[in-house]
Structure 1
Amino acid sequence: MGSFSMWHWLIVLAIVLLLFGRGKIPELMGDVAKGIKSFKKGMSDDDAAPSEQAKTVEHKADDNK
């Protein structure tokens, strides 16, 4: 069960190209990249949100005094 030979990889590549077509693969990769960017943006928004919430709570506490 060693590594696959070059012929195995060529056959796999041919099947992938037949299934997705030449134009679909770049579109698919672009969609993956957009998803990763959205995920990173969401994570950075989550990091920024607690500090903004803490400031809001502090301002409300100061207003109630």
Structure 2
Amino acid sequence: MGIFDWKHWLVILIVVVLVFGTKRLKNLGSDLGETIKGFRKAMNTEEEEAAKPQAQPTVQTATQSGAPLQPHTIDGQAQKVEDPLRKD
């Protein structure tokens, strides 16, 4: 008995068919199938891209460019930030 009784499922099926009609239910089924196929295709594409070896970035040395490499510096200044919620 309960919700798994075949009679309950039959009544639910009849109500759904009466409310939506058979054409709309048929379109819903095919749309759901296309959606699942698209999802699987996207997942397979992502897996294939992840399996490909990533190209290593090349590092240019002084001998390759012909000129010595210049060091890069970052200019900045540290500042102390006071926490307005903290009371000492």
Q: Taking structure 1 as the reference length, what is the TM-score of the superposition?
A: 0.69
Taking only the aligned residue pairs, the percentage that are identical comes to 29
Deviation at 1:52, TM superposition (A): 3.7
Larger Rg: 2
| 1:1-65 equivalence runs, <5 A | 2=2, 3-6=4-7, 8-52=8-52, 54=54, 57-58=55-56, 61=58
Q: Taking structure 2 as the reference length, what is the TM-score of the superposition?
A: 0.54
Relative to structure 1, the CA distance from residue 5 to residue 47 in structure 2 (aligned partners, 3 Å threshold; closer, same or farther) is closer
Consecutive unaligned residues in structure 2, runs of 5 or more: 62-88
Consecutive unaligned residues in structure 1, runs of 5 or more: none
| Greater percentage in helix | 1
User: Number of paired residues?
Assistant: 60
